[in-house]
Amino acid sequence: MQIVELAPAKINLWLRVLGKRPDGYHQVETVLQTISFADMLTLTAEAGGIALTCSDPRLPCNEHNLAYRAAALLAREAPGRGVHIHLEKRIPWRAGLGGGSSDAAAVLRGLNQLWGLNWSWQQLLPLAQALGADVPFFLQGGTGIGRGRGDELEMLPVRPDLALVLIQPPFGLSTPKVYSDWQPPDARPPAGDLSDLTLALQQSDTQALGLLLHNDLEEPAFRLAPELATVRQKLSQAGFPCLLSGSGACLFAVVPGKSNEPAVRWLHKARQLLPASYRASLVRTRF
Positions marked active-site:
10, 134
* Cα-Cα end-to-end distance for the chain: 26
Query: What is the distance between the alpha carbons of residues 60 and 83, in angstroms, rounded to a whole number?
Result: 17
CA dist 41 → 35, 53, 225, 251 (Å): 17, 10, 32, 25
Residue 25: DSSP 8-state: S
CA dist 91 → 208, 218, 266 (Å): 28, 20, 22
3-class SS at 13? Answer: strand
Query: What is the distance between the alpha carbons of residues 132 and 213, in angstroms, rounded to a whole number?
Result: 25
Helices (H) and strands (E) in the chain, counts: 10, 11
Rounded to the nearest 5°, which phi and psi values hold at 2?
Answer: -140, 140
Amino acid, res. 262: P
